[in-house]
């Protein structure tokens, strides 16, 4: 009997994406697997059921999971849902290994082999599986757009009979995948863009997109493409130089994050109060505590004339394309697991070994296991 | 005693603009006039009181109008406010001459000389006074941005490790000032843009912005830069060709309007129902009835997966720059009226003659006078 892939409707509040989109179905056929989808799973991403051809359907999660071999998700299952996954099945998706220990214990109780997309190594061979990057790309685009949408100014220069409007000044903080796409998008709209990242190696990338790199004199290269945490003194120096640039900005997009940790505070209240009336801050890190001290996750607030947006579920703002890119990431990962229509787990493959969270009743990801054992 | 210019805080619901911004104050000095502003007038446009230098202040509209010579507004005063304007004063602003007859009668009762920016002739010399155009420019930009913000797809093409995202297809209906700026903005964002206007002469302008002109085989050149109304047969032919393009679009921005008349219906329910799930319509004509049959002014609705936005007060979405451009339009008009610090009404000047709505107790604008006399 062939492998059955199950695709649930996402259950997290505000999540609009879906793990499988119609355009990747032919890849599943090539892999020699069957696809079973929960009715309505793709609807909020712009993929009504009728667009999925050659799949079978389930009315609810229970029917979906019955005898399924692999479950593909976007967001992690709730602890309760994790406890209802098919026994010994495979689970692929974002799994936030740094939190949700009951979920992880339930995965182990069900002897689920789970692969967390957050743990996929950032090596060349795994680029097509790098869902953090594909989703960050979308998020950076959407946050730059949100900033321009909320701004009472135009981003482009406009020369009209009623005089010239000068281009907006945009500051992007954090020049990872999201930050670079925010820079590119603000540039497309005609803004003057300055950008900052603690990793000074990003200067070249910022400049290649037409942005100006803000030099604070502080560098903090870290591992895995992320920044290390800064000392207090470095933070103060960085903050003051940045604050001067931010105070002049018409829009600021912040994208600084440290995986599994609260987001660093980059813009404090005093800096907000130095900004111009009508300036906009879009804080991409709102869900992990925010890069701005005043950010409220899921809200748009105004503080002394400065508009501060802390959007949640940002990739869901472009749910169609975010799902498409995510689905391709999953299919590429699945391609390392399924050979000739059968599941074959090659633990010598670095991608599988690194990204495996749980297997055969055990937490395989060492930092997660150690944290959970420390919590006992 | 020198001329006093009064600038009220706008009273229309949802209006964020202000008629005078700090950067034009030096122009008033050159004209030799005094400026008096109602406290808080510029705040919602991003101009707190402290940015206005060298002006005097009034706490309310009554104090503002006392002995004032000229009143500068954005939106028309309410009928009640019109009846409280300083006697024999000048009023410059949008005045919607096709409606609000009680307001016009009250202007005449107060012997107010009013100039309606809607009536400024579209001649070369008056381009710097053309507030319809300056505000339409802003509106076109904001509506294209709104479409990209609401779209679950990306507008630009994106080439990533997770595959390529194709650029969005955007259709802009109406290629006046607003439509052309919407085309330019969607192009900036990387979309493939098609545009349509009943005036086939706009083809060249559309193409110069990188848009593709949709040829429906119907032409309807009208007077004053607007389109004439089409016959039913022409409408049907236009609608069917357009509907085919709209059905394929990821986003549609409609900008078709006929001055003083309800907006023409361009997209009927059946066409919406042919569109893709996740497609977006931004209807710039929502306030005058809408170009889409399903538009609800001031709301974002979803019909069979299609998102339909009918924004109101669109220039207020970019209140800072909209106010700047509008203020320059007003100053330019005032320059035709004030010579050596004195009001001098030269009725031989076509701009003044055409744009005058009321003067010395009489409605000077013939079509308005005739409509109001017909109503008696």
Closest Cβ–Cβ partner in A45, A162, A278 for B46: A278
Of B48, B156, B162, which to mutate for an interface test with A (greatest number of A Cβ within 10 Å)? B162
Interface check for B271 against chain A (CB to CB < 8 A): the answer is: no
Interface check for A318 against chain B (CB to CB < 8 A): the answer is: yes
Residues of chain B where predicted confidence (pLDDT) is lower than 50: none
Q: Say what the pLDDT of residue A52 is.
A: 98
Interface check for A319 against chain B (CB to CB < 8 A): the answer is: yes
Q: Say what the pLDDT of residue A235 is.
A: 79
B244 labelled catalytic: no
Both structure tokens of B177: 């000032």
Query: Is A43's CB within 8 Å of B277's CB?
Result: yes
Give Cβ neighbours of residue A131 (< 8 Å, ≥ 6 apart): A94, A117, A120, A325, A326, A329, A330, B162
- Cα–Cα distance between B184 and B186 in angstroms, integer? 6
- Which structural domains are found in chain B, ordered by start? 4-129+321-365 (3.40.50.720), 133-317 (3.40.50.720)
Query: Is A160's CB within 8 Å of B329's CB?
Result: no
In terms of phi and psi (left: phi > 0; alpha: psi -120 to 50; beta: otherwise), the region of B174 is: left
Both structure tokens of A269: 């209240």
- Cα–Cα distance between B8 and A34 in angstroms, integer? 68
Give Cβ neighbours of residue A5 (< 8 Å, ≥ 6 apart): A20, A28, A33, A34, A35, A36, A68, A69, A70, A71, A72, A334
- Nearest 5°: the CA angle A13, A14, A18 is 100
Give Cβ neighbours of residue B168 (< 8 Å, ≥ 6 apart): B148, B151, B153, B154, B155, B191, B192, B250, B251
Within 13 Å and on the Cβ side, how many CA atoms surround A343? 17
Q: Say what the pLDDT of residue A146 is.
A: 98
Query: Is A133's CB within 8 Å of B329's CB?
Result: no
The three-class DSSP label of residue B184 is helix
Interface check for A156 against chain B (CB to CB < 8 A): the answer is: yes
Residues of chain A where predicted confidence (pLDDT) is lower than 50: none
pLDDT digits (tens, 9 = 90+) for B142-165: 999 999 999 999 999 998 888 899
Q: Say what the pLDDT of residue A370 is.
A: 94
Question: Pairing state of beta strands B70-72 and B90-93?
Answer: parallel
Query: Is B134's CB within 8 Å of A46's CB?
Result: no
């Amino acid at each position: 009997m062939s492998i059955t892939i199950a695709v649930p409707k996402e259950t997290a509040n505000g999540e609009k994406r879906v793990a499988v989109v119609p355009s990747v179905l032919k890849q599943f056929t090539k892999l020699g697997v069957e696809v079973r989808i929960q009715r309505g799973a793709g609807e909020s991403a712009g993929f009504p059921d009728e667009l999925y051809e050659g799949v079978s359907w389930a009315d609810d999660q229970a029917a979906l999971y019955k005898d399924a071999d692999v479950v593909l998700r976007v967001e992690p299952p709730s602890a309760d849902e994790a406890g209802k996954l098919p026994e010994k099945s495979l689970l692929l998706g974002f799994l936030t290994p740094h939190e949700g220990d009951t979920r992880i214990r339930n995965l182990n109780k069900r002897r689920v082999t789970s692969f967390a997309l957050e743990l996929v190594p950032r090596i060349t061979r795994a680029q097509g599986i790098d869902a953090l990057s594909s989703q960050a790309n979308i998020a950076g685009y959407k946050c730059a757009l949100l900033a321009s949408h909320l701004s009472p100014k135009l981003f482009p220069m406009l020369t009209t009979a009623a005089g010239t409007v000068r281009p907006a000044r945009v500051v992007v903080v954090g020049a990872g995948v999201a930050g670079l796409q925010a820079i590119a998008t603000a540039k497309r709209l005609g803004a003057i863009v300055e950008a900052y990242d603690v990793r000074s190696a990003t200067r070249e990338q910022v400049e290649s997109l037409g942005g100006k790199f803000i030099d604070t004199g502080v560098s903090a290269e870290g591992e895995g493409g992320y920044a290390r945490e800064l000392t207090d003194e470095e933070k103060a120096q960085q903050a003051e130089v940045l604050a001067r640039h931010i105070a002049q900005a018409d829009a600021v997009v912040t994208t600084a994050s440290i995986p599994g940790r609260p987001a660093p505070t980059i813009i404090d209240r005093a800096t907000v109060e130095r900004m111009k009336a009508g300036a906009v801050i879009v804080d991409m890190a709102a869900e992990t505590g925010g890069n701005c001290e005043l950010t409220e996750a899921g809200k748009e607030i105004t503080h002394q004339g400065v508009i501060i947006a802390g959007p949640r579920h940002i990739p869901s703002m472009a749910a169609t394309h975010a799902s498409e890119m995510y689905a391709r990431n999953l299919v590429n990962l699945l391609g390392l697991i399924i050979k000739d229509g059968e599941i074959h787990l090659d633990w010598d493959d670095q991608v599988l070994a690194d990204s495996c969270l749980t297997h055969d009743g055990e937490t395989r990801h060492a930092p997660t296991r150690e944290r959970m054992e420390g919590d006992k």
